[in-house]
Structures are given as structure tokens and as C-alpha cells.
Amino acid sequence: MTTFVGSDTSDDKYLGNETVMYGLGGNDILDADEGSLAFSLYGGEGNDIVRGYNENDYIFGGAGDDILCGFYGKDWLVGGPGDDQFWFESVQGGPSKIADFDLGEDIIGFDKFAFKKLGGDGTLKKAKFYLGDKAHDRSDRVVYDPDSGKLTYDKNGSKSGGKKLIAKIGKELDLSHKDFIVGDPQEFFDELYI
């Protein structure tokens, strides 16, 4: 097991394959590079941007307004205090677990290139969201079941064969389409690749 420990006083920007990463203080960007082991990523204090990779990663934002990105694995996402964003970048991965979704403060994001039926950038369209255990018409794409806490993506709407469990986010949440956004989370990490 290898470890990256950032600075407590500056903004760290790090792309690497250490299985444990700590951003500590500052507004950090931690991006797990290729690897076959699960990552444990800790943003720490500040407004951090943290992304896992292929395995079942533990991604913790810490204090601040953080952006957490799950990728292919069954990730455990913990935002911590602050207005956090939980992004999903692959339909193939998961299901992940959002441990502390705070209604009215936190947002769930979908990669527009992976979740192609959700449309372009911005707030999820009202017609594409449904509360229930499955899509009820052809336009429903994101379905939240308050009884089970399961969040699914259905590329076919009410037509059979397109349902995919994305995450478990807690039961009995009064979610609406306004709690979801669609966009390109890669933009958060672009400065690592310059």
C-alpha cells in the first residue's frame, strides 16, 4: 500500500496511483489514476475535487463544498459537512452508496456522455425524473424509490430492458428533478492534464 499526503496549507493537485491519498488543507484535486486496487481518498478541509477509479473505492470529501466522482466501482461516497456534489461517470459501474446525501444542500450529477438519455448541461428536466420503484412512462430516465433508497437510470423509460441501479442514497428523501444535474465532470480535472 502506498500513500500520498498533501500539504495542510496549500492547494494540492495530484494524479496518481497511490492507494491512499490525503489532500489535507486547501482546495485539493485528487484523481486516482489506473490501478487494480481499491483507493481510499480523503479530501480534507477545503473545497475538494476527488475521483476514484475502477475498483470499489472509498471517497471522502471532508469539510467544505466538495465534488466527489465515482467511476466504475461500487464506491462509498461521503461528502461531509458542506454543499457537496456526487457525480456518476459510468452507467457500467456501481451500484455505489452515498452515505450522507443532504437534501437541499447536496446535488447528484450525471456525466452527459455516459448517461446519454438525460440531455445536455444543467438541471435534470422534470419529465426525466420519477419517484417510484420503476419508470412509469417513456420519458422517465432517473428513478428514485423512497421505500428502498435506490436510485436507478433507465435508458428505455417504461419500456423493458434499460434499468440500471446506480446508487443507494437513503430512504424517504423528498427528491425532485432539481436535486440532479447533467454535465461533464472531466472539466473539474482538466488542469491536471495540462
The fraction of the chain above a pLDDT of 70, given in percent, is 97
Residue 34, pLDDT score: 73
If one counts every other C-beta atom within 10 angstroms of the C-beta of residue 45, the result is 18
What is the model's pLDDT at position 93?
A: 80
Percentage of the chain with pLDDT > 90? Answer: 71
Which DSSP string do the residues of 126-183 spell out, in sequence order?
Answer: GGGEEESSS--STT--EEEETTTTEEEEETTTTSTT-EEEEEE--SS----GGGEEEE
Lowest-pLDDT choice from 14-28, 74-88, 115-129, 164-178 = 14-28
Question: pLDDT tens digits, residue range 38-86?
Answer: 899 999 999 999 999 888 999 999 999 999 998 888 999 999 999 999 9
Asked whether residue 194 carries a pLDDT value surpassing 60, the answer given is: no
Decide if 162 contacts 156 (C-beta within 8 A): yes
Mean pLDDT value across the chain:
92
Angstrom distance (rounded) from CA 98 to CA 116: 22
pLDDT at position 190, please?
84
Rounded-to-integer distance, Cα 132 and Cα 151, Å: 10
Cα 55 vs. chain centroid, distance in angstroms? 14
Cα–Cα distance for residue pair 14/21, rounded to 1 Å:
9
pLDDT in tens, 150-181: 999 999 998 888 899 999 999 999 999 999 99
Residues 6+ apart with CB under 8 A from 39: 19, 20, 21, 32, 52, 53, 55, 57, 58, 59
Residue 155 is predicted with a pLDDT of 93
**Which is more confidently placed, 143 or 4?**
143
Tell me, what's the pLDDT at 1? 67
